[in-house]
Amino acid sequence: MSSIADNIRSVTRRIQKATEQAGRKPDSVRLLAVSKTRPPEDLRAAADAGQTAFGENYLQEALDKIEALKDLADLEWHFIGPIQSNKTRQIAESFSWVHSVDRLKIARRLSEQRPAELGPLNLCLQVNVNDEESKSGCSLTELPELAASVSVLPNLTLRGLMAIPDPNQNDADLKQSFGKLAGALALLQQTLPDAQQLDTLSMGMSSDLEMAIAEGATWVRVGSALFGERPAK
């Protein structure tokens, strides 16, 4: 059975190859290890192999891991799950990035509750590119107004957009979904001030990261290809 270190090397090679084939700069795509449900020792093994950025979906589980791994000072914690209003303070206090903001109310709370000594919280707006009723995210229609409102909040830096396209699409439709998110970011870069800070597309997972990179992804969120399949609930 492959080790976590072997898996990280394999996924890193996939990212490098896809980045090269897309004609992009070698360091323009980063790997976000999706570590929800994984024990701290798995994250430590990944960190020993050079992985520094970890994405967590469940707040209490994430806080436990942050505490367990506090001796690893260079880890970068990303919150990528749905956000409830009563969880914003701990997210603002504990994470470097949040990828899953889809409401102004949540952004305002994160801004108000971000400790000044930590510097601005990096933030992505989650977009429901396929208008799925069961999925979080603002619509493409709502995005410009939401982005304009979030971009002026203190203690936050609006970095870009995140999406989880419908995984049941065929390749052509999935490519189009990634392209929609990239197009939405390009439009914001033309219309919002401080456009140089809008540099992030968080999209692509274990099965489709190559396609996402071809469409402009800067973070690919990979779980099973690093840690193995999660056990069934």
Whether residue 233 is contained in a domain is answered as no
Residue 103 pLDDT greater than 80, yes or no: yes
C-alpha span between 56 and 216 (Å, rounded): 23
Residue 233 pLDDT greater than 70, yes or no: no
Query: Model-level pTM?
Result: 0.96
Domain of residue 9, CATH code: 3.20.20.10
C-alpha span between 97 and 115 (Å, rounded): 14
Structural domain for 222, as ranges: 4-226
pLDDT digits (tens, 9 = 90+) for 23-58: 999 999 999 999 999 999 999 999 999 999 999 999
Whether residue 232 is contained in a domain is answered as no
Whether residue 121 is contained in a domain is answered as yes
Q: Residue 38: its pLDDT value, please? A: 96
Residue 160 contacts residue 202 (beta carbons within 8 Å) = yes
Whether residue 48 is contained in a domain is answered as yes
Whether residue 231 is contained in a domain is answered as no
Q: Residue 32: its pLDDT value, please? A: 98
Task: Please give the tally of structural domains in the chain.
Answer: 1
